[in-house]
């Protein structure tokens, strides 16, 4: 992998970690059960994407 590709993956990891954190924070504040479930699923999806990118390293 080139340096530029590694920097891209590092950037992507940071973004996915941020998105997951924000989804978890938001889900904890939501009262509507359906919307809360949706946001929790989004957090899980970002965790999966993070793991995929991390696996490239």
> What are the start-end ranges of the H helices in 1-57?
3-29, 33-56
Contacts of 19 (CB under 8 A, 6+ apart): 42, 46
Tokens matching residue 23: 């989804």
pLDDT for position 14: 94
Band of residue 57 on the pLDDT scale cut at 50, 70, 90: confident
Question: pLDDT digit string (tens) for 32-51?
Answer: 999 999 999 999 999 999 99
Q: How far is CA 31 from CA 3, 55, 57, in A?
A: 44, 35, 38
Q: How far is CA 4 from CA 8, 18, 23, 27, in A?
A: 6, 21, 29, 34
Percent share of the chain, pLDDT over 70: 100
Per-residue pLDDT, averaged over 2-26, amounts to 93
């Amino acid at each position: 992998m080139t340096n530029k590709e590694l920097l891209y993956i590092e950037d992507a990891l940071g973004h996915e970690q941020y998105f997951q954190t924000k989804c978890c924070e938001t889900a904890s504040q939501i009262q509507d059960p359906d919307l809360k479930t949706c946001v929790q699923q989004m957090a899980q999806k970002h965790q999966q994407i993070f793991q995929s990118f991390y696996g490239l390293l």
